[in-house]
Chain A
Amino acid sequence: QVQLQESGPGLVKPSGTLSLTCTVSGDSITKNNWNWIRQPPGKKLEWIGYIFNSGSTNSNPSLKSRATLSFDTSKKQFSLKLTSVTAADTAIYYCARGTVAGVDHWGQGTLVTVSS
């Protein structure tokens, strides 16, 4: 079955760069889109962006171009880099598979805290 697993540092300093990787198993990754979605503690979900294995991406304008998504098809991994982070970027970050039938598979999520 499809599984996704986030990895990366749990603590990032203000003004630094948040870097996360999602490893996909059980899927060919050639179809569908691959998403990053975050959730500040106690708050609602916010879509960050998605990427296709072709490299085509779409990101949330609210992040003001701070987010970069990339794909390593040989490793079945996709990644997120978020620059110039502040405390407002503290959240649980989920990677997830998007389809025409909704976001149907999610990673367990990883908490990233922005603090000095």
Chain B
Amino acid sequence: EIVLTQSPGTLSLSPGERATLSCRASQTVSSTYLAWYQQKPGQPPRLLIYGTSTRATGIPDRFSGSGSGTDFSLTISRLEPDDFAVYYCQQYDRSPQTFGQGTKVEIK
């Protein structure tokens, strides 16, 4: 199976700062099938980005995704208080679909 490794494990930042999250795959993933999710405590994940760089419905443009092959990233241009959460990448290119272990973005 494709293993997704996210880094860093925790990102401590202040509101207004830029966040860059990394997701590295153990094998090449088609950029069409790479997604990012946000999860807050006690809530299900929320789809942010699909197809590596396409924002899901209602997602603000401060969220952007990029990458190809085995290296992908999620950038939050200016952190707002609502953005402090855990972020997961997911590949659904090859079965079984897999998730990264998550990056927690916490308030510094």
Per the CB 8 Å criterion, the residue count for chain A at the interface is 20
Known contacts: A45-B88, A47-B97, A60-B96. The answer to whether A102 contacts B47 by CB under 8 A is: yes
B47–A103 CB distance below 8 A: yes
CB distance from B104 to the nearest CB of A (A): 11
Which residues of A have CB within 8 Å of B68?
none
Known contacts: A102-B35, A102-B90, A104-B56. The answer to whether A94 contacts B96 by CB under 8 A is: no
| A15 to B43 alpha-carbon distance, docked (Å) | 29
B47–A104 CB distance below 8 A: yes
| A44 to B49 alpha-carbon distance, docked (Å) | 18
A47–B98 CB distance below 8 A: yes
Q: Which of A21-29, A80-88, A106-114 contacts B (4 or more CB under 8 A)?
A: A106-114
B50–A102 CB distance below 8 A: yes
B binding-site residues for A, Cβ under 8 Å: 1, 32, 35, 37, 43-47, 49-51, 54, 56-57, 88, 90, 92, 95-102
26 inter-chain pairs at a CB distance below 8 angstroms, sorted by A residue, are A44-B99, A44-B100, A44-B101, A44-B102, A45-B37, A45-B90, A47-B97, A47-B99, A58-B95, A60-B96, A61-B1, A62-B1, A96-B44, A101-B50, A101-B51, A102-B35, A102-B37, A102-B56, A102-B90, A103-B35, A103-B90, A104-B50, A104-B57, A106-B45, A108-B43, A109-B44
